[in-house]
Amino acid sequence: MPEPAVLTERRDRVLIITLNRPEARNAVNGALAQGLENAIDLLEDDDDLWAAILTGAGPVFCAGADLKTVAAGNLDELRTERGGFAGFVQRGRAKPVIAALTGDAIAGGLEIAIAADLIVAGSNVRLGIPEAGRSLLAIGGGLAELPRLIGEKAALELALTANPWPAARLASLGLISRIVEPPAVLAEALTLAESICVNAPLAVRASRRVIVGGRDLDSNARWALAEQELARLAETADYQEGPRSFVEKRTPRWSGR
Which residues are within 8 A (CB) of 14 and not within 5 positions of it... i.e. 6 or more apart?
Answer: 49, 50, 51, 52, 53, 190, 193, 194, 197
Strands (E), the chain: 6-11, 14-19, 51-56, 60-62, 79-80, 84-85, 97-101, 104-106, 118-122, 126-128, 165-166, 178-180
Considering the candidates 3, 9, 37, 131, report the single residue annotated as catalytic.
Answer: 131
Active site residue 3: no
Considering the candidates 9, 44, 77, 111, report the single residue annotated as catalytic.
Answer: 111
The string of DSSP codes covering 159-185 is HHH---EEHHHHHHTTS-SEEE-GGGH
Active site residue 111: yes
Give catalytic residue positions. 111, 131
